[in-house]
């Protein structure tokens, strides 16, 4: 067995001890400290030592994925925090200012769990979400943190202690009972945070029962995690590395399928020896690895990057699965990519890879009515349009249904689009379905496993 690699976490309080950080300009370090008052910050030694190319900092995409950037705040927001620090504002005053800025960053872009919390005999079961009939999402309480806080992540409020989500815990009515009763469910997706931060005993206590009596209808168990990109030693030299792998093997031997939903944002994350080894070890258990990522300005808004990422994934035996559109929250302005541009990047990369990589779908938005992809841009009857499609919907009949929005080069999310051909509403907005919030504004989104 390989020598154990010990994980070491850095936060806003001690990042200046990182040897590589010592060589950063004072200006960069200062910006991290200011922005770090508002947004969460955490990374580990693997990201520092093996992912970030320090010769290319501050432009290196791995650096921007894990280190706070000045432009995550607007110039006004930045200045107000800066002024408060300078004039040595009281702790209360500073805290108030920070909470105001956090609110401006749209911490809850959706109703998230509260719109989708299922009940059992009238009692809500926290920590699970059942939006699409065949798949139940499980959010275990112990899996709500991560190996590194990705700077674009829409779960940022939970990392700074804003727990409006309720997580599955020992006290909750058991999600196992719910799943047992719902025979239409074929897939259980364990998500977070990152569920792979949980120790072996915890993961096993969620997965092992699903292999037993009463769960014959469960065909697939999925784990949504970024561990392969952020701490691959989990499967190589961590204390329980072999136990995780044995559990994965047991799932596959039981006649069910284990799907590891891996999150990679850039091909650079696929290049380390450790990640390649971890991928091989997981595949050797009969598990499939499916890959997903949002499209992010400054990180991967380039067809060449996606092409190389998908090709490398296939070459390593993984399956490209989803390209997502980033949600409207946190430092969204920094990362956002217009829908039309995202579509063009997807198309150009897709057209340039072998069919084995064309398992990928997207670019996809998780909105209230379902997962919606941008399928094309065209001109129909003299009108320029964006062709959209449901990949997933609350109402299964809508799945695979095509519909049209007016062409809009600037729109960055579904709620900014309006129907094409002079229609007043999209088909799903008529009588049968109305979002709980106002029409077309603020269509909520639900957590996906990035995670995801």
Ligand X SMILES: *Cc1c(COP(=O)(O)O)cnc(C)c1O
Q: How far is the CB of 370 from ligand X (least distance, A)?
A: 8
Binders of ligand SF4 in range 219-278 (CB under 6 A): 226, 263
Identify which of 214, 212, 225, 222 has the alpha carbon closest to the alpha carbon of residue 255. 212
DSSP code string of 206-217: HHGGGGSTT-TT
Q: How far is the CB of 378 from ligand SF4 (least distance, A)?
A: 33
135 binds ligand X (CB under 6 A): yes
Q: Which does 366 bind (CB under 5 to 8 A by kind): ligand SF4, ligand X, none?
A: ligand X
Q: Which does 194 bind (CB under 5 to 8 A by kind): ligand X, ligand SF4, none?
A: ligand SF4
448 binds ligand X (CB under 6 A): yes
Binders of ligand X in range 266-305 (CB under 6 A): none
Interacting span for ligand SF4 (CB under 6 A) from 45-53, 149-157, 206-214, 305-313: 149-157
Identify which of 302, 245, 312 has the alpha carbon closest to the alpha carbon of residue 272. 312
129 binds ligand X (CB under 6 A): yes
Cβ-based nearer residue to ligand SF4, 342 or 353: 342
Compute the distance between CA of residue 52 and CA of residue 452 in angstroms, rounded to an integer.
Answer: 22
150 binds ligand SF4 (CB under 6 A): yes
In sequence order, what are the beta bridge partners of 402?
389
Q: Are 157 and 197 in contact (CB under 8 A)?
A: no
Cβ neighbours of 443 (radius 10 Å): 22
Q: How far is the CB of 450 from ligand SF4 (least distance, A)?
A: 4
Identify which of 407, 346, 357 has the alpha carbon closest to the alpha carbon of residue 380. 407
- Binding-site size for ligand SF4 (CB under 6 A) equals 13
Compute the distance between CA of residue 203 and CA of residue 184 in angstroms, rounded to an integer.
Answer: 24
153 binds ligand SF4 (CB under 6 A): yes
Cβ-based nearer residue to ligand X, 137 or 412: 137
How far are the Cα atoms of 13, 117, 247 from residue 250, in angstroms, in the given order?
A: 42, 30, 5
Q: Which of 172, 225, 311, 366 binds ligand X (CB under 6 A)?
A: 366
Interacting span for ligand X (CB under 6 A) from 117-125, 131-139, 234-242, 417-425: 131-139
How far are the Cα atoms of 176, 241, 351, 425 from residue 256, in angstroms, in the given order?
A: 17, 21, 34, 42
For the four alpha carbons of 89, 95, 100 and 103, in that order, the dihedral sign comes to positive
Residue 186 DSSP one-character state: -
Q: Which of 41, 132, 139, 260 binds ligand X (CB under 6 A)?
A: 132
Q: Which of 63, 67, 139, 149 binds ligand SF4 (CB under 6 A)?
A: 149
**DSSP helix/strand/coil, 78:** helix
> Footprint of ligand SF4 on this chain (CB under 6 A)?
146, 149-150, 153, 155, 192-194, 226, 263, 450-452
> Footprint of ligand X on this chain (CB under 6 A)?
129, 131-132, 135, 137, 189, 366, 371, 391-392, 446, 448
């Amino acid at each position: 067995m390989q020598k154990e690699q010990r994980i070491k976490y850095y936060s806003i309080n001690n990042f200046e001890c990182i040897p590589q950080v010592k060589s950063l300009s004072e200006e960069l370090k200062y910006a991290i400290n200011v922005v770090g008052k508002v947004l969460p910050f955490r990374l580990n030694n693997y990201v520092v030592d093996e992912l970030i190319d320090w010769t290319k900092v501050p432009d290196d995409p791995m650096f921007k994925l894990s280190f706070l950037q000045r432009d995550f705040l607007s110039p006004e927001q930045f200045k107000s925090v800066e002024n408060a620090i300078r004039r040595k504002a009281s702790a209360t005053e500073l805290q108030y200012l920070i909470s105001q800025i956090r609110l401006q960053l749209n911490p809850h872009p959706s109703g998230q769990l509260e719109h989708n919390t299922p009940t059992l005999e009238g009692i809500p079961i926290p920590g699970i979400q059942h939006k699409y009939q065949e798949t139940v999402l499980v959010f275990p309480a112990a899996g709500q943190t991560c190996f590194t806080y990705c700077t674009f992540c829409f779960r940022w409020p939970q990392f700074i202690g804003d727990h409006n989500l309720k997580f599955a815990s020992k006290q909750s009515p058991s999600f196992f009972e719910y799943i047992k009763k719902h025979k239409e469910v074929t897939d259980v997706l364990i998500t977070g945070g990152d569920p792979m931060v949980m120790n072996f005993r915890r993961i096993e206590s969620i997965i092992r029962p699903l292999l037993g009596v009463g769960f014959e209808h469960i065909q697939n168990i999925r784990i949504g995690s970024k561990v392969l990109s952020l701490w691959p030693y989990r499967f190589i030299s961590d204390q329980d590395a072999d136990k995780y792998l044995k559990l994965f093997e047991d799932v596959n031997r039981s006649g069910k399928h284990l799907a590891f939903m891996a999150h990679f944002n850039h091909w650079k994350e696929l290049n380390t020896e450790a990640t390649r080894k971890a991928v091989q070890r997981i595949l050797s258990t009969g598990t499939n690895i499916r890959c997903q990522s949002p499209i992010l300005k400054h990180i991967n808004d380039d067809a060449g990057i996606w092409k190389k990422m998908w090709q490398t994934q296939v070459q390593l035996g993984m399956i490209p699965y989803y390209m997502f559109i980033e949600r409207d929250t946190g430092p969204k302005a920094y990362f956002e990519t217009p829908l039309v541009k995202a579509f063009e990047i997807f198309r150009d990369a897709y057209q340039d890879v072998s069919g084995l990589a064309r398992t990928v779908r997207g670019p996809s938005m998780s909105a209230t009515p379902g997962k919606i992809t941008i399928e094309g841009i065209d001109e129909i009857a003299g009108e320029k349009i964006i062709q959209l499609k449901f990949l997933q919907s609350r109402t299964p009949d809508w799945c695979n249904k095509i519909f049209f929005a007016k062409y809009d080069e600037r729109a960055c999310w579904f709620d900014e689009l309006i129907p094409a051909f002079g229609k007043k509403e999209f088909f799903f907005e008529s009588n049968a379905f109305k979002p709980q919030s106002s029409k077309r504004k603020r269509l909520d989104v639900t957590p996906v496993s990035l995670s995801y």
